[in-house]
Amino acid sequence: MSSDVERLLDAPDSITTSEGQTTSKSVNGKKGIWENIYLYKMPQLTQEQLVGFSTKYKYSAIDTSPLSKYVMHPLWNWGVTFFPTWVAPNVMTFAGYICLLIDYCLLAHYDWSFSAENSSEQPNIPRWVWFVVAVLHAASHHLDGMDGKQARRTGSGSPLGELMDHGIDSNCMWMLPVTLMSVFGSNPAAGGIAMQYSPLLMLALTFNFWVNHWEKYNTGVLYLPWMFDIAQTTVVVVFLAAGFLTPGGLKNFFADNICPFNQLIYIMIPIGFVGAIGLTILNLRLSYQSGTNRHNSICEMMRPWVSYVIFNFLSLTFPLFCREDFMSNPRVWTIAYGFTFSNIVCRLMINQMSYTRCELIEPPLVPLFISWFIAVVLRISPSTVIMVYAIVAMVSFVHYCYVVVNDLCDHLNICAFSITSKRR
């Protein structure tokens, strides 16, 4: 495969299929403990989806970014040679996620309310934290780029690899703006992002990710944005600058030499929206003209948007109508928003990879609506409701991923984190 069509995992030339609905494996003819727990088997991939993974799945992505083609891919081709061939690509993918998770937890510890760096005079987050965050973010980005190289190098590519890669990316996309908010702070007078506008920052960065995968749902091709590698590299530079200058010093530098940090963000958000929509419309038009589009009906093309719009309406109206509860603990809302977003977009990925029709109303919207109704309409302890829902959203997403990975491993007769081992 050419170097400009890379970063995910290729499908193998042939995949061992299984007939009938897959079930969890038993040991020596006896049921395992998880088979007696009903929640372990629900939800799971449908038979249509499993057959789609086996017979229709095809890796297809295009990356034409000059930075990726001339800098990142040569760097990753060199870097992957340092990994033993027995290291599974999914191990690298998951290790990159752990790096970002450590970043998130570190900054959550020192700046739970996004106010630690509101003062430009006295930094409250130790400088070493920013250096650690920068190194781990860079490591995560490069592991994400090298996992596909490792898959081809070892001949271990599979649909599970692409699903894990992008599923983890969906969870990283909401953590990125949350970590950046600790650099900005929440004091607009000091160049920070006012907390009431922080949901827009979350929406802006996750929106681009959603649009890319909705585009693939219709075209069958994932067009990787030029800004991806540029943005990832810029974020590392910002974290390093925060370590050397402190966040306050960094914001003062921007205010004195360019423009206030928050004004720059407010300008970039609408540009990102317009750019993402414009490129997607262009790619959809080209796909339609070439006859490679999957859906000719506008209703079928727009079907995934129903759940996405409902999700954002419910999520974004909470901080609007329960402003005091949101402002008192904004990080809890980001957790609720992030894990629900990941749950919805992962289901879209499964539909696009298995060539199946997406649900009109995705299951994660049910507990979200119940929580929204209790908090926003009935006004019953909104702070407690959003905290409980955040836990539910996190547990539901982890459980869903666990079951889906096991179903795919059973169906393809592979192990998620091992190249040579097979399911028995």
pLDDT for 183 beyond 80: yes
Higher pLDDT, 280 or 28: 280
Strand partners, 223: 62
All domains in the chain, ordered by first residue: 43-412 (1.20.120.1760)
**Half-sphere exposure for 94 (CA within 13 Å, toward CB):** 13
Q: Sorting pLDDT into bands at 50, 70 and 90, what band is 17?
A: very low
Higher pLDDT, 93 or 284: 93
Buried b (16+ CB within 10 A) or exposed e, 294-333: ebeeeeebebbeebbebbbebbeebbeebeebbbeebbbb
Distance (Å, rounded) from C-alpha 167 to C-alpha 144? 12
When the pLDDT of each residue in the chain is averaged and rounded to a whole number, the result is: 84
CA distances from 165 to 140, 209, 272 (A): 12, 13, 23
Q: Which two tokens stand for residue 262?
A: 């928050």
- pTM: predicted TM-score of the whole model, two decimal places: 0.87
pLDDT for 35 beyond 80: no
Q: What is the pLDDT of residues 317-349, one digit of tens each?
A: 999 999 999 988 999 999 999 999 999 999 999
Q: What is the pLDDT of residues 84-97, one digit of tens each?
A: 999 999 999 999 99
Q: Answer whether 107's CB lies under 8 Å from 125's CB.
A: yes
